[in-house]
Amino acid sequence: MQIELLTTGTELLLGTTQNTHGAWIGQRLLRIGLRISRQVTVPDGKAVGRAMRAGLEDGEALIVTGGLGPTSDDLTREALAEVLGLEMIEDEAAMRAIEEFFASRQRVMAKANRKQAQAPVGADILVNPNGTAPGLYLPPRLSGSFNCGVFLLPGPPRELYPMFEAEVVPRLQAMSGIEEVPGFQELKFVGIGESDFHEGVDRVLEAIPGLEHGYCARPGEVDLRLMGPAARLREARDVVQGTFRKELVSDDGANLEDVVVDLLSKQGKTLAIAESCTGGLISSRITDVAGSSAVFRYGFVTYANEAKEELVGVSQEALRNHGAVSDPVARQMAEGALKAGEADVAVAVTGIAGPGGGSADKPVGTVFLALAENGKETRVYQQFHPWARATFKRQVSQSALNFVRLSLGE
């Protein structure tokens, strides 16, 4: 089924508002065996009508988000009516819903909000309990020769997502006629790149009949998407696990931090973290996971040398003789965090994020990571991540969490 997605709003193209609709809608459609064929983003104004016409010409279903508000630049309804040659009327049920929305909140409705009750003749009104902008659905018969079903949805996610679930998903399922939804699996890997897959398993995966696969690569990590019958998914998963078992973080789409918290919880262990160059990012990622409070003890952000000394007991001698970015300092940071945090496992990182601060011996991108555990010898690893500052911090946090994961899996 050809599904066109049109997201509208000048703010989406100026970069002042992040456009998350495509990712969310794409993931939701995938669960019912459908996918977006094309996504287009246009500014408010005449471009909306032109993009609508293109979507109607090529699609079997057109989903449009945004432009249903009460202001002068909210013209999605009017644009669709003009393209299809339909008259606009005020829908009584929509008007009552808008009035009730304001009354329930003891607010006075502005005259401009009456505009939101306007709809092309024959359109179905999609109830919006979370805002003042009703959605609209025009079945294919109303689009004339286009023969394309059209959904007009509000832009704010808090309004769009519930409406999509309640009103759009059932209609798309009926329109598509899909009875058996293909299986889907997302596997996450750390410490390898997309080229490793190309050399290792890509040809084998391509030879599996009925299997569709694709990659999403970032520095030091790769997501592998598998789609197809359940038996083919199992076959593909076995191939990949056999080649990249150590690098496989999860086969259910779980992120690295989710896996680390889960392993700690299952083993009844606790974690402490000492960070310098990542500035608290590792701790932030751990605490993003629900239930992390049961396993996360302390997070020490020891950016300055004084903090390394005072909080996790790094010696002045190690700092003076080896520098803050060194094996001895990383080692003492991890061991100090383990002791001060009264934890079972501690990980520490110290590095040079740049763009300044590097040297011939320790260029920008140099990082030392240390892992300390009760009853085990502390391990220190040196890595080099010559990325821009934000990417460097993300990559170091990935490496640190992955060291914890691998240690817990031993």
Pure H helices in 201-326: 202-206, 230-243, 256-267, 281-287, 305-312, 316-322
pTM over cut 0.85: no
Give the start-to-end residue ranges of the domains of the chain: 3-176, 183-250, 256-408
Using the predicted structure, report yes or no on whether residue 164 has a pLDDT greater than 90: yes
Average pLDDT over residues 53-76: 94
Average pLDDT over residues 45-49: 92
Average pLDDT over residues 156-162: 95
The whole-angstrom separation of Cα 319 and Cα 329 is 7
Burial of 191 (0-12, 13-18, 19+ CB in 10 A): middle
Residue 20: both structure tokens together = 């998350």
Q: What is the CATH number of domain 3-176?
A: 3.40.980.10
Using the predicted structure, report yes or no on whether residue 54 has a pLDDT greater than 90: yes
- Contact (Cβ atoms closer than 8 angstroms) between residue 247 and residue 197: no
256-408 adopts what CATH topology?
Maf protein (3.90.950)
Q: Which residues are 212's β-sheet partners?
A: 227
pLDDT 10s digits, 167-201: 999 999 999 988 778 888 999 999 888 888 888 89
State the chain's mean pLDDT as an integer.
Answer: 94
Write down the pLDDT at residue 345.
98
Using the predicted structure, report yes or no on whether residue 313 has a pLDDT greater than 90: yes
Nearest to 205 by CA among 214, 196, 192, 193: 214
Average pLDDT over residues 142-165: 96
Nearest to 205 by CA among 232, 187, 178: 232
pLDDT 10s digits, 99-126: 999 999 899 999 999 999 999 999 999 9
Give pairs for 79-84: CB < 8 Å, separation 24+.
Answer: 79/48, 79/49, 79/52, 80/49, 80/52, 80/120, 80/136, 80/138, 80/150, 80/152, 81/120, 82/49, 83/49, 83/52, 83/53, 83/56, 84/120, 84/138, 84/142, 84/143, 84/144, 84/146
User: Sign of torsion, CA 137 140 145 151?
Assistant: positive
Q: What is the DSSP letter of 142?
A: G
Burial of 161 (0-12, 13-18, 19+ CB in 10 A): middle
pLDDT 10s digits, 142-152: 999 999 999 99
What band does 219 get if pLDDT is binned at 50, 70 and 90? confident
Q: What is the DSSP letter of 168?
A: I
183-250 shares the fold of 3-176? no
Average pLDDT over residues 150-168: 96
Using the predicted structure, report yes or no on whether residue 226 has a pLDDT greater than 90: yes
Write down the pLDDT at residue 410.
78
Using the predicted structure, report yes or no on whether residue 45 has a pLDDT greater than 90: no
Write down the pLDDT at residue 149.
97
Architecture of the 183-250 domain: 2-Layer Sandwich (3.30)
The whole-angstrom separation of Cα 253 and Cα 251 is 6
pLDDT 10s digits, 238-281: 999 999 999 999 999 899 999 999 999 999 999 999 999 999 99
Using the predicted structure, report yes or no on whether residue 73 has a pLDDT greater than 90: no
Write down the pLDDT at residue 371.
98
